[in-house]
A and B are shown apart, each in its own frame.
Chain A
Amino acid sequence: MTRLRRAGLAPESPLAVAADGPGGLRLVALDAGARALGLRPGEPLGRVRARIGVPLHVRPADPEADAAALLRLCRWAGGYAPGVSPFGPAEGGHGLYIDVAGASHLRGGEAALLDDLAGRLARGDVPARVALADTPGGAFALAAHGPADRILAPPGAAAMHLRDLPVAALRLDPGTVAGLRRLGLRRIGALDDQPRGPLARRFGEAPLLRLDQALGRRPEPLAPLAAPDAFAAARGFLDPIGRQADVVAAARGLMAEIAPRLERAGLGACALRLALHRVDGLARALDIGLSRPERCPERVAALVSLRLDRLGAGLDAGFGFETVALTVTATGAVTVRQGVLGAEPAGERVGALADALAQRLGRRLVRLAPRESHRPERAERALPWDGADPSTSATAPWPDHLPPRPLVIFAQGEPARDVLAAAPDGPPRRFRWRAREHRVARAEGPERIAAEWWRAGGGPRDYYRIECEAGRRLWLYRDGPHAPDRPAAWYVHGIFP
Chain B
Amino acid sequence: MRNPSTRTRPDPGIPSAGIPARLAALRTALGPADRRPGPALPLGLPALDAHLPGGLALGPPHEVAPAEPADGAAALGFALALCARRLDAVPGEALIAAAPGLPLPHGHGLAALGLDPRRVLLLETGGDAEVFRALEAALHARCLAALLGLVGGGLPLKPGRRLHLAGEGPDPPLLLVLRPAGLGPPNGAATRWRVASAPAARDRFGGIAGPRWRARLERCRNGRGGDWTLEWDRDARRLRLPERLAGDAAAAGGARP
Q: How large is the interface on A (under 10, 10 to 19, 20 to 34, 35 or more residues)?
A: 35 or more
| CB of A190 within 8 Å of the partner chain | no
* Pairwise interchain contact A398-B107, C-beta atoms closer than 8 A: yes
Interface string of A392-408 (1 = CB under 8 A from B): 01010111101011111
Q: How near does chain A come to B43, taking the closest CB pair, in angstroms?
A: 17
| CB of A108 within 8 Å of the partner chain | no
Q: A367-B118, A496-B211 are in contact. Are A361 and B111 (CB under 8 A)?
A: no
| CB of B143 within 8 Å of the partner chain | yes
Number of interface residues of B (CB under 8 A): 60
* Pairwise interchain contact A352-B106, C-beta atoms closer than 8 A: no
* Pairwise interchain contact B207-A398, C-beta atoms closer than 8 A: no
* Pairwise interchain contact A368-B107, C-beta atoms closer than 8 A: yes
Complex: A393 Cα to B137 Cα, angstroms: 25
Residues on the B chain within 8 Å of A368, using CB: 107, 110, 117, 120, 122
Q: Which residue of A lies closest to B122 (CB)?
A: A366
Interface string of B62-87 (1 = CB under 8 A from A): 00000000111110111011000000
* Pairwise interchain contact B108-A473, C-beta atoms closer than 8 A: no
Residues on the B chain within 8 Å of A367, using CB: 117-118, 120-122
Stretch with Cβ within 8 A of A (4 or more), from B11-19, B124-132, B155-163, B180-188: B124-132
Complex: A334 Cα to B158 Cα, angstroms: 41
Most buried by A among B78, B118, B212: B118
Q: How near does chain A come to B81, taking the closest CB pair, in angstroms?
A: 8
| CB of A346 within 8 Å of the partner chain | yes
* Pairwise interchain contact B73-A363, C-beta atoms closer than 8 A: no
Q: How near does chain B come to A234, taking the closest CB pair, in angstroms?
A: 31
Which residues of A400-442 have CB atoms within 8 Å of chain B's CB atoms? 400, 402, 404-409, 434, 436, 441-442
* Pairwise interchain contact A385-B121, C-beta atoms closer than 8 A: yes
Partner of B70, one of A352, A363, A436, A494: A436
Complex: A356 Cα to B134 Cα, angstroms: 9
Complex: A81 Cα to B193 Cα, angstroms: 65
Residues on the B chain within 8 Å of A357, using CB: 123, 134, 137-138
| CB of B40 within 8 Å of the partner chain | no
Interface string of A353-369 (1 = CB under 8 A from B): 10011001101111111
Partner of A407, one of B80, B126, B214, B250: B80
* Pairwise interchain contact A408-B118, C-beta atoms closer than 8 A: no
Q: Which residue of B lies closest to A398 (CB)?
A: B111
Residues on the B chain within 8 Å of A407, using CB: 73, 76-77, 80, 105-106, 109-110, 112-113
Q: Which residue of A lies closest to B232 (CB)?
A: A497
Q: How near does chain B come to A353, taking the closest CB pair, in angstroms?
A: 4
Supply 14 further A-B pairs (C-beta < 8 A) apart from A471-B196, A471-B250. Answer: A349-B141, A365-B121, A370-B107, A370-B108, A398-B111, A405-B112, A407-B73, A407-B76, A442-B208, A471-B197, A471-B214, A472-B70, A473-B211, A497-B73
Can you list 20 A-B contacts (CB < 8 A)?
Answer: A350-B144, A361-B123, A361-B133, A364-B123, A366-B121, A366-B124, A367-B117, A367-B120, A368-B107, A368-B110, A368-B117, A370-B117, A379-B108, A380-B107, A390-B119, A399-B108, A407-B80, A407-B106, A442-B208, A497-B77
- Residues on B facing A (Cβ under 8 Å): 70-74, 76-78, 80-81, 91-93, 95, 103-113, 116-126, 130, 133-134, 137-138, 141-144, 196-200, 202, 206-208, 211-214, 232, 250
